Amino acid sequence: MSWEPVIGLEIHVQLKTRTKMFCRCELGFGDPENTRTCPVCLSHPGTLPVPNAKAIEWTVKLGLALGCEIAPHAVFHRKNYFYPDLPKGYQISQYDQPLCTNGRFLVPGPDGDAYVGIVRAHLEEDAAKNVHVGGAAGRISGADRTLVDFNRGGTPLVEIVTRPDLRSAEDARIFLQLLRQTVVELGISDAEMEKGSLRFDVNVSVRPEGSSELRTRTELKNMNSFAFAARGIAREIGRQIEIYEKGGEVDQETLHFDPTREDAPPLRSKEEAQDYRYFPEPDLVPLAPARDLVERARAELPELPGQRIRRLERDYALPFYDAEVLSGLPALAALFERTVAAGGDAKATSNLVMNQIVAAGVDPAVVDGLELAKLVEARGRIPRAALDEAIAASGTPGFRADDYTADTAITDAEELRPVVERILEGNPSQVEAYRGGKTGLLGFFVGQVMRELGGKANPKVVNELLREQLGL
């Protein structure tokens, strides 16, 4: 029997608003512990939460980018649980009336569009950070004590829940990268996994291929890189298939994936919603985002990365791979478009920008499109060394392509012929091999001529002369 993986994601994105979700403490990653706190986020008796308007506006924006409907009436709930990182004993979150629901997020692929369903995106406050001391790698197991840093407590946090629409670890990786790029380009989060401003959990189950049932799923927590998640997912898929094939059943549980071990030890059995005893937050009125706020946010949405991939493919007849690479770096995509607008051939420009500009470490934002278009045009005509030199200099102020494309290369056949003859005379065995059918040696001869002339020869003319002399 062949098995189909069914994967859903729960993603947490910290918003980079100036202040926390329900108080006026400023956010500050990396600040000394417990210096960004006040009576509200430390839950002193008698304090009251005041919602951050910017966080609500940004969640609406993100919801729209995810293709969600924005609820005209959303409610904050208390999610009750006891843990040292939660001084109130509950987290202000959203439950059955979230701000954004029922979305559809475009994930372009080489074989067409895929859409990942978005169940919901809601706004909540982050918990404080537990710092485990004394154990290996800062993990709780083996630690001898745990400290709490309340700086993070109360940071605005958006939770995004997808439908189980992903079918492989690779699908999940592509979706997450596109989602990350989207929130970064919206300017609402750094979405840096190393800092914890983007975190996600993965739900995994498997089912017989062709079936539409949803079997028991397990949850993988503690994912802190895309590569890491892909490995964890692949391993969990394999584990579940093995259990079913041996006639067993998968238990619903949360697994703590540790890259240093080959297994993922169970953390706890999954809580049910009723365990959290959700009830509406009595200290906050329901959220009713104004229609004009929603419409303004919709009008202000920039082109999203997924849409940009499709547009680059369509408008410039680029292969999917090129469109994806360019779109992944907006400044690179912009340079590509400036250059083509100035007359550069689209595919040649794409190659030059994706490979040589990136390899030379040139900042694409400062390159002049018109000058780069001249280099694209000259690329087959000037020596490779001159092109490389020009590209390396293309980001410097006042760069002029003409300084490099002016005919530094020797194009005069009469001047080149003696050099070509000398090279052929000096390599009789290669000449014989070439005439015997090893025509791939042409490149060797071109290289020898170029070396002789310090790269300053027109490769096209050298090619013609070699073919003429070799008699083929």
Stretch that binds Zn ion, among 31-39, 95-103, 219-227, 238-246 (CB under 5 A): 31-39
25 binding Zn ion? (CB under 5 A): yes
- Minimal distance in Å, beta carbon 154 to Zn ion? 6
70 binding Zn ion? (CB under 5 A): no
Question: Of the two residues 25 and 60, which places its CB atom closer to Zn ion in the complex?
Answer: 25
- Minimal distance in Å, beta carbon 112 to Zn ion? 48
Stretch that binds Zn ion, among 38-46, 106-114, 231-239, 243-251 (CB under 5 A): 38-46
Stretch that binds Zn ion, among 39-47, 178-186, 235-243, 369-377 (CB under 5 A): 39-47
Phi-psi region of 313 (alpha: psi -120 to 50; beta: other; left: phi over 0): alpha
Residue 136, token pair as written in the block: 């290996």
38 binding Zn ion? (CB under 5 A): yes
Query: How far is it, in rounded angstroms, from Cα 388 to Cα 394?
Result: 10
Stretch that binds Zn ion, among 40-48, 313-321, 336-344, 447-455 (CB under 5 A): 40-48
- Minimal distance in Å, beta carbon 17 to Zn ion? 13
- Minimal distance in Å, beta carbon 87 to Zn ion? 11
Question: Of the two residues 88 and 338, which places its CB atom closer to Zn ion in the complex?
Answer: 88
Stretch that binds Zn ion, among 19-27, 117-125, 230-238, 413-421 (CB under 5 A): 19-27
127 binding Zn ion? (CB under 5 A): no
128 binding Zn ion? (CB under 5 A): no
Q: What is the 3-state secondary structure (H, E, C) of the chain?
A: CCEEEEEEEEEEEECCCCECCCCCCECCCCCCCCCCCCCCCCCCCCCCCCCCHHHHHHHHHHHHHCCCEECCCECEEEEECCCCCCCCCEEEEECCCCCEEEEEEEEEECCEEEEEEEEEEEEEECCCEEEEECCHHHCCCCCCEEEEECCCCCCEEEEEEECCCECCHHHHHHHHHHHHHHHHHHCCCCCCHHHCCEEEEEEEEEEECCCCCCCCCEEEEEECCHHHHHHHHHHHHHHHHHHHHCCCCCCCCEEECCCCCCCCCEEECCCCHHHHCCEECCCCCCECCCHHHHHHHHHHCCCCHHHHHHHHHHHHCCCHHHHHHHHHCHHHHHHHHHHHHCCCCHHHHHHHHHHHHHHCCCCHHHCCHHHHHHHHHHCCCCCHHHHHHHHHHCCCCCCCCHHHHCCCCECCHHHHHHHHHHHHHHCHHHHHHHHCCCHHHHHHHHHHHHHHCCCCECHHHHHHHHHHHHCC
- Minimal distance in Å, beta carbon 344 to Zn ion? 53
Question: Of the two residues 41 and 60, which places its CB atom closer to Zn ion in the complex?
Answer: 41
- Minimal distance in Å, beta carbon 40 to Zn ion? 5
Question: Of the two residues 25 and 362, which places its CB atom closer to Zn ion in the complex?
Answer: 25
Question: Of the two residues 40 and 457, which places its CB atom closer to Zn ion in the complex?
Answer: 40
Number of residues that bind Zn ion (CB under 5 A): 5
- Minimal distance in Å, beta carbon 327 to Zn ion? 39
Contacts of 285 (CB under 8 A, 6+ apart): none
Question: Of the two residues 41 and 64, which places its CB atom closer to Zn ion in the complex?
Answer: 41
Question: Of the two residues 150 and 257, which places its CB atom closer to Zn ion in the complex?
Answer: 150
Question: Of the two residues 51 and 259, which places its CB atom closer to Zn ion in the complex?
Answer: 51
Contacts of 211 (CB under 8 A, 6+ apart): 4
Question: Of the two residues 40 and 174, which places its CB atom closer to Zn ion in the complex?
Answer: 40
- Of positions 6, 7, 23, 75, contacts Zn ion by CB under 5 A: 23
43 binding Zn ion? (CB under 5 A): no
- Minimal distance in Å, beta carbon 372 to Zn ion? 49
Contacts of 436 (CB under 8 A, 6+ apart): none
Question: Of the two residues 38 and 442, which places its CB atom closer to Zn ion in the complex?
Answer: 38
Question: Of the two residues 23 and 99, which places its CB atom closer to Zn ion in the complex?
Answer: 23
- Minimal distance in Å, beta carbon 282 to Zn ion? 20
- Minimal distance in Å, beta carbon 153 to Zn ion? 8
- Minimal distance in Å, beta carbon 72 to Zn ion? 30
41 binding Zn ion? (CB under 5 A): yes
- The residue ranges that bind Zn ion (CB under 5 A) are 23, 25, 38, 40-41
